Every structure is written in C-alpha cells, then in structure tokens.
Amino acid sequence: MKLYKANILFTREKDRFEVIERGCVAVEDGRVVGVAVDESAFAADSVEAVIDYGDKLLIPAMCDMHVHAPQYRNQGIAMDLELIPWLNNYTFPEEAKYAEAAYAERMYRRFVRDLWRYGTMRTVAFATIHERSTRLLMNIFKEAGMGALVGKVDMDRNSSEALQTTVHDAVAANEALIAEFNVPGALVRPIITPRFIPSCSSAMLRECGRLAAKYSLPVQSHLSENPSEVEWVRELEPESRFYGDAYDRYGLFGQTPTVMAHCVYSGDDEIELMAKRGVLVAHCPTSNLNISSGMSPIRKFLDHGVKVGLGSDISGGHDLSIFRMMVYAVQVSKMHYQYSNKQSRFLSLSEVFWLATKSAGSFFGKVGSFEPGYEFDALVVDDSDLNFDGYTLPQRLERFIYLGDDRQIVHRYCRGEEVAEPKL
C-alpha cells in the first residue's frame, strides 16, 4: 500500500467538496483503500511507501467524454462557421487524411500528449472510419498508460465519399479492433461509434446496435446538437418519436452504456428516455458556443436524474482542458439562469467538478473519486504561483480551475501508476 499525502479535494456528492488539509490517500493495486487526515489511520506495516506532496493539491484526474481525436489539427481555426458547413469544409477533409497512417500517428501522438498535459486520464474519443489509424490511436493511449474508449467511426451516407464505408467493411474493421482490444479490464477499449443518424443508413445503425449487444460494448454518438440537425433526423427517421428514439430503435440508446454528445435540444420525452436508460450526456459548452448551437439544459438533466459529463469536443471546442470546460459549464448555466428568468439554477463549482470527475468517471467503472474502491486517477497541482495570499483550500482549487493551466499540474496518475509525458 502507498500513501499519497497532500491537500486532498474531491466530490463524493455534487453539492460539496470533500476537503482534507494535509491528508493522505492510501492506494493498493491501483485502487483507493481510503482517505484519512493522517497516516496513522493505516497500519504502518502495510505501508510500503509514503509520497509526500507537501502543500500541493491532490485531486481526481479529468475525464473527457467527447473529443474528435482526428480534428486535433483544426483546433482553434475556422471558428466562424455553423455545424454543417464546418463539417463539410474543415472536418471531413481533415479526417480523410487519416487514411494515411504516418499522418495519423504524427497527429495522434500530439493529441495524446496534450490530453496528458491538461490532466485528462480518461477519454471517450472518436477516431475516423480508418481501422489502421484507429488502431494506432488505441496503441498510443496504451503506450501512454492512459485510459480511453476509442471509436472507429461508422458512416455510410451524407458525407464526403472519402469518409464513407460500406456496412460490410465497417463491421469487418470493428470486428478486427474488437478482437484485438476488447480485453476485460483493459485501460483502452473499443466503443461502437455511429457518427450520427444523418451519416448512417438503417443498415449501418442496425449493425452498430448488433455489435454493441454482441460484445457488450459501450456506444457513443451525437444527439440534438442543432435545430436543423434535429429537423433533418425527423425527416430521415420519420417513424421515430424524437432524435434519441431513432438511436433507441437500433439498440444504441442505453442498451449498453451510452454517451451522447451535446443534447442541447433534447425535449422532455428524450430526457425521460435518457434517464430511464442511463444515457450519459457529454456536455461540451465551448463547442456549443463556438458553433452557435445553443445552451444545453444541464440543470434539467440533473434534476431528471440524467448522468452528465464534460467534453472538450475538439475541434468544435477549441480547448482540451477539462478545467476550462468546468468554467464554461458554469458560465453557460449562468446564461441559462439569466435567460430563463432565473428559473434554472446555475451550476456550482462543486457540481461541475463532480460532472468532470465522479459523474463522468462512472462510464469507466469506479473512476473519478477518492472513495474506497475507486481507481486512483489523480493529479498533483502545484498552485504556489496562484496562492500568494492565504487562500482557503476551496479557493485555491477554484483559482487553479479558473486561472491555472498545464503548468500547475506536476504529477498525473492513472489507475495507480504515475503517467510520464507521452513521446511525440
């Protein structure tokens, strides 16, 4: 058993931080044994090492619940378009480049290195349609020792020729990746990834649902991001009662663990079904702002018992930092509050921290908290440059979240192992 000593902050429940000044977390076999105010709480003869981080902060590592790895190069450019022209002019042409493995490797290594920088130790990622470069991305995550659910993207209509596959090829590529990576307990595993309803024929969606069920694999896709997209889905799947119902008919809406990105325009029926099926919302506030999507009703999801995590959504989003996503999630909820005549209470800091850690982490097992039995995913934060005037521990954390960046993150742990900077 190892003991990590520092100022410990985490969220067992969304409404408040657990704060233990100069406390310690006991870790064995990659999992938290317990948290205590001092090391005497643990039998001395079972402690093999004490790692003392002094006055630094020790917090759970971040989870990014929605990101397009192959849009890494487009991060921070072309922020002047709406969803559909942006897909056609920037996103699809860039993703087509991932047919070439050398390009994919160069970009994916940078992408994973940057996730590391910002303390994201668990990621739910879209790759592209390409089996080979998807395998590369999965191996780069494995090599780094960082957790990821990586989806080979399936799509066979309404996009550029270069990014469409046949259903047959999509299934074959998925089967190959599943055979290689679907190892119980592995840090890096496949996730079934129909791009979104408009990109997938009924046959493709049916096969995606079948694969998810056959291999008990999780599912990710996009949902109700944009009014014109919602309308388009209504036309494409006229028998569905609402967008989410279309996924549901193919077994892609909570039949296995499912994360749906955006959910800005989810109506009451959709929200009810998401709660019932345990579908997790990947809330991507920067993306929603950058692509003029709108404000996702996160308070409503929470009030209805829908699970929510945060996503960077590179490159609709421009920032890989999940800490920055927390700031934006609070801000967007405050805008919601203002424009709902103060009916929709805004999110607190502990709530968005909980979204990014324990709530999101539930998608990976027991991840995102320092409660006993949780995998030890953690960040050590040296905020000494921000802490020049006797702030309280919650204020220090708040200042790091609002003002800090990768410079303050000095150690990163995933499943109990310290994660070194991934090689480019």
Copy the structure tokens of residue 369: 């908290």
Q: Which stretch binds a second copy (CB under 8 A): 49-57, 147-155, 293-301, 409-417?
A: 293-301
Q: Which stretch binds a second copy (CB under 8 A): 115-123, 136-144, 189-197, 400-408?
A: 400-408
Binding flag, residue 325, a second copy (CB under 8 A):
no
* Minimum distance of a second copy from residue 227's CB (angstroms): 9
Binding flag, residue 11, a second copy (CB under 8 A):
no
Q: Which stretch binds a second copy (CB under 8 A): 19-27, 115-123, 145-153, 338-346?
A: 338-346
Binding flag, residue 295, a second copy (CB under 8 A):
yes
Sign (positive/negative) of CA torsion 233, 237, 241, 247?
A: negative
Centroid of chain to Cα 424:
22
Binding flag, residue 293, a second copy (CB under 8 A):
yes
Binding flag, residue 101, a second copy (CB under 8 A):
no
Binding flag, residue 387, a second copy (CB under 8 A):
no
20: nearest Cα among 6, 41, 34, 40: 6
Distances in whole angstroms, Cα of residue 98 to Cα of each of 70, 78, 127, 193, 196: 7, 20, 9, 17, 19
User: What are the φ/ψ torsions at residue 162 (nearest 5 degrees)?
Assistant: -65, -20
* Minimum distance of a second copy from residue 292's CB (angstroms): 4
Q: Looking at 303-394, which runs of residues are DSSP E strands?
A: 308-310, 378-381
Contact flags string 340-369 toward a second copy, x per CB under 8 A: ------x-xx--------------------
Q: Which stretch binds a second copy (CB under 8 A): 10-18, 21-29, 133-141, 395-403?
A: 395-403
- Closer residue to a second copy in complex, CB, 344/357: 344
362: nearest Cα among 286, 263, 282: 282
Token pair 């999630």 is at which residue? Answer: 329
**Non-local CB neighbours of 44 within 8 Å, separated by 6+ positions:** none
For residue 120, the SS3 value is strand
- Closer residue to a second copy in complex, CB, 212/327: 327
Residue from 43, 45, 343, 388 binding a second copy (CB under 8 A):
388
Binding flag, residue 398, a second copy (CB under 8 A):
yes
**Non-local CB neighbours of 65 within 8 Å, separated by 6+ positions:** 124, 259, 261, 280, 282, 309, 310, 311, 360, 363
* Minimum distance of a second copy from residue 187's CB (angstroms): 27
Binding flag, residue 73, a second copy (CB under 8 A):
yes
Binding-residue total with a second copy (CB under 8 A) = 41
Distances in whole angstroms, Cα of residue 424 to Cα of each of 106, 128, 155, 263, 375: 7, 20, 30, 34, 27
Class of residue 412 by CB neighbours under 10 A (exposed 0-12, middle 13-18, buried 19+): buried
Gap between the Cα atoms of 39 and 45, Å rounded: 12
Binding flag, residue 338, a second copy (CB under 8 A):
yes
Binding flag, residue 231, a second copy (CB under 8 A):
no
CB 118 within 8 A of CB 60: no
- Closer residue to a second copy in complex, CB, 40/341: 341
Residue from 405, 420, 421, 423 binding a second copy (CB under 8 A):
405
Binding flag, residue 79, a second copy (CB under 8 A):
yes
Query: Which residues contact a second copy by CB under 8 A?
Result: 73, 75-77, 79-80, 107, 110, 286, 289-295, 318-319, 327, 330-332, 334-335, 337-339, 346, 348-349, 386, 388-389, 391, 395, 398-399, 401-403, 405
